[in-house]
Amino acid sequence: MKNLPFYILVSVLLSLILHVSLLICLERMSFPAPASMVSPPHRRDILPVNVKVQEFTLEELTKRESEQEEIKEILREEAAEGTLQDLTDEATRVMRDVFRNEDLVKPPPAPELRFEGVKIERAMLQPKLPQTLPAKVIATAPRPKVVEIKMDELPLERQAIQRTTVPQMERVDVPNTNVPSLLPHGELTADTGVTYSTGLNLGARPKFGIPKGLGKGAGLDVPMTPDMDPLNGLTPLPTAGSLPALSDTLGKLTDDTAILPKVVALDEFVNVDVKVYRDRKGQGYFKVSIKANELSDSMGDIPKDTLLIIDHSASISPTKLSQFKAGAIESLSYLNPNDRFNVVSFTSKAQALYPNLVAATEQNRETASLYIQRLVRGGQTDVFGGIGPFVRKGNGNLDRPMNIFVLTDGQSTIDIHQMGDRTIHNHETDEFQRAMVGVNPGNVSIYPFSAGKNANRALLDFMGYLNRGHNYHVDDLKDFRSHLVNYISSYSNLIVRDMRYLAEGKVSKNIYPRHLPHLYRHETLSIYGRFDPDDTELVLTLSGYDAKNQHRDLVFRRRYDECGEGPELMKQHWAAQKIMHTRAEITLCTDPKRRQALDRECRHLANDYGIMINY
């Protein structure tokens, strides 16, 4: 019995060893699951249950390159300004302490007052004060030197930055190395004591001019006259069946007749850059950036028409309307001399400043500025009624581009709009978009602008996308004016209109967007594509028309393995562009089965690439 504790200890150890061995064996063994628990084969019409964290939104991924760079540049400038101001404040404090501690600054003499009296024959109550003579200024300060930057010696990327340049000129060398100082010679002081003259003027009371824009009628709605009614003389909208479907134009991209014969080369006037990203499976994605270079300055600007449409209904807050008005007035200065323009305001009805488009003269711009200043909030909102008639009217010349910038939140308070014998429902987004595409003569680009959290992004984003434009949205209202002015200014210089492209091979089926906007001097066009692991080369043909109506084209070839490496986010950008294209097809499609199939495709893309769709 005395060995009993020893036996118990040995039994416990053996039991532990046995259990551990069994656990290890079970971990290495696999057991087939019962038939009832086996998952059916994966089908594309059934969404897999994947737990994913959505990291990207469709709105952010589809922002244009210029918009993304503009936001980054503003953030960099703000950071730089903040750092520079901090350094300046610190340097000022240090210098002030040094001068005070070294007793280098003497207190200034107390100023004296000289009473000049009233403007009559003799002064009244005038004390007898000695005259203060100005101190003699001698040459003590070193002559400033002019620093010159020669543009032709800078790298090309620095020359491409927009800046004000001055032609080089000859300088006159003055042998004297010093110039008169700004302060009297002598002991360093914080200021110089002087004598100030004071007195009274018994003239008439002053009269102040009325500030510009605040005269008679300011702050009041401009009355509507019958001859300004934009709905007069318009034919009824086409029927839904006659609207062009986005999918009907896709086949033209692979048709050799889509690109006209070469007339004038575009090669030397644009830079084409390609970045490539390959995933672990070898699937490739690319981004093509097309941007006008410095040689494009020799190409003239294409005359165009600009229409500013401003929503000043009650749904627009006072702060937002103030930003709308300030941005619109400032953007008028970016109109080119060869451009024509007009300004439209709308609430429940639309009213144009001029009956027709007018030249961008200084007088016409001043009249437009005053018209915009006098806009006040009020009334209900008819979004289609404020935009559709002017899209329909166009400018009467399909070879002359027309840009419509719309400042609105897209929230209609009037649902039904009657145009001819056609009824348009503002709140039926797809019907709204089909009607807007249906009235577009083909040369009108729509650029909606919105701000804040209550904007109707679904309506505004696709209104721009389906009409050769782009919606610009900022969340913070205080930044809206500066963004608006910068964005409108980027569309000031148009150099190639009606841009289109043709891609060789099967890669042409996976390139987005399908339709390119016009090429502007300060805008970058971006094309995203996906290619198979066995593809080796990208061949693109770009085509368009210049200011002389000459046909321009460019043939671009680049091997994928010779392109620069792009970020992994490039595949999300490609997927976002395809989702936008597919959802645009859904908007224009009226076949329920086709719409369901396209919607499933969108949801699969969003799930596979981790993209959040808020529409």
Q: What is the CATH number of the domain that holds 292?
A: 2.60.40.10
Query: 397 and 311, same structural domain?
Result: yes
Does residue 594 or residue 77 have the better pLDDT? 594
pLDDT tens per residue, range 167-195 = 776 666 655 555 555 554 455 544 445 55
Look at residue 593 and tell me if it is in a domain.
Answer: yes
Best CA proximity match to 356, nearest among 269, 206, 232: 232
Look at residue 417 and tell me if it is in a domain.
Answer: yes
Look at residue 156 and tell me if it is in a domain.
Answer: no
Query: 474 and 432, same structural domain?
Result: yes
Residue with tokens 């004038």: 264
Question: Going by DSSP bridges, is the β-strand pair 564-565/511-512 parallel, antiparallel, or unpaired?
Answer: unpaired
The predicted model gives 300-316 an average pLDDT of 94
pLDDT at 25: 63
- pLDDT of 385 above 90: yes
Task: Residue 532: give the domain boundaries.
Answer: 248-299+495-612
Look at residue 606 and tell me if it is in a domain.
Answer: yes
**Measured between alpha carbons, how far is residue 405 from residues 39, 221, 307, 434 in Å?**
53, 21, 6, 19
**Measured between alpha carbons, how far is residue 203 from residues 56, 120, 207, 483 in Å?**
70, 10, 12, 49
What do you get for the CA distance between the two ends of the chain, in Å? 82
pLDDT at 174: 58
pLDDT at 144: 64
pLDDT at 250: 37
Q: Are 313 and 221 in contact (CB under 8 A)?
A: no
Take residue 453 and report the two structure tokens written for it. 């959290």
Q: Are 558 and 527 in contact (CB under 8 A)?
A: no
- pLDDT of 239 above 60: no
Look at residue 340 and tell me if it is in a domain.
Answer: yes
How far apart, in whole angstroms, are the C-alpha atoms of residue 8 and residue 431? 85
Does residue 392 or residue 28 have the better pLDDT? 392
Does residue 289 or residue 82 have the better pLDDT? 289
pLDDT tens per residue, range 313-344 = 998 989 889 989 999 999 998 898 889 999 99
Burial class (CB in 10 A: 0-12, 13-18, 19+), 474: buried
> pLDDT category, 58, cuts 50, 70, 90?
confident
Query: 502 and 519, same structural domain?
Result: yes
Does residue 244 or residue 287 have the better pLDDT? 287
How far apart, in whole angstroms, are the C-alpha atoms of residue 576 and residue 255? 25
Look at residue 43 and tell me if it is in a domain.
Answer: no
Average confidence score pLDDT of the chain? 75
Look at residue 171 and tell me if it is in a domain.
Answer: no
Best CA proximity match to 269, nearest among 499, 562, 529, 505: 499
- pLDDT of 256 above 90: no
CA triple 53-56-59, angle to 5 deg: 145
> Among residues of the chain, what percentage have pLDDT more than 70?
60
pLDDT tens per residue, range 125-140 = 444 545 544 555 455 5
Best CA proximity match to 196, nearest among 130, 126, 112, 116: 112
The predicted model gives 94-115 an average pLDDT of 63
The predicted model gives 354-366 an average pLDDT of 94
The predicted model gives 557-569 an average pLDDT of 92
In the chain, helix, strand, coil percent, each to 5? 35, 20, 45
**Measured between alpha carbons, how far is residue 106 from residues 1, 13, 196, 584 in Å?**
107, 93, 21, 74
Q: With H, G, I as helix, E, B as strand and everything else as coil, classify residue 434.
A: helix
Handedness of CA 351, 357, 363, 368 (dihedral sign): positive
Query: 383 and 441, same structural domain?
Result: yes
Query: 395 and 487, same structural domain?
Result: yes
How far apart, in whole angstroms, are the C-alpha atoms of residue 344 and residue 382? 13
Take residue 446 and report the two structure tokens written for it. 């729509």
pLDDT at 5: 66
**What CATH number is given to the structural domain containing 418?**
3.40.50.410
> pLDDT category, 232, cuts 50, 70, 90?
very low
Tell me whether the omega of the peptide bond preceding residue 513 falls within 30 degrees of 0, making it cis.
yes
Look at residue 446 and tell me if it is in a domain.
Answer: yes
The predicted model gives 547-556 an average pLDDT of 90
How far apart, in whole angstroms, are the C-alpha atoms of residue 393 and residue 440? 8
- pLDDT of 507 above 80: yes
> pLDDT category, 229, cuts 50, 70, 90?
very low
Query: 361 and 500, same structural domain?
Result: no
> pLDDT category, 577, cuts 50, 70, 90?
very high
pTM listed for this prediction: 0.62
Take residue 512 and report the two structure tokens written for it. 């987005």
> pLDDT category, 434, cuts 50, 70, 90?
very high
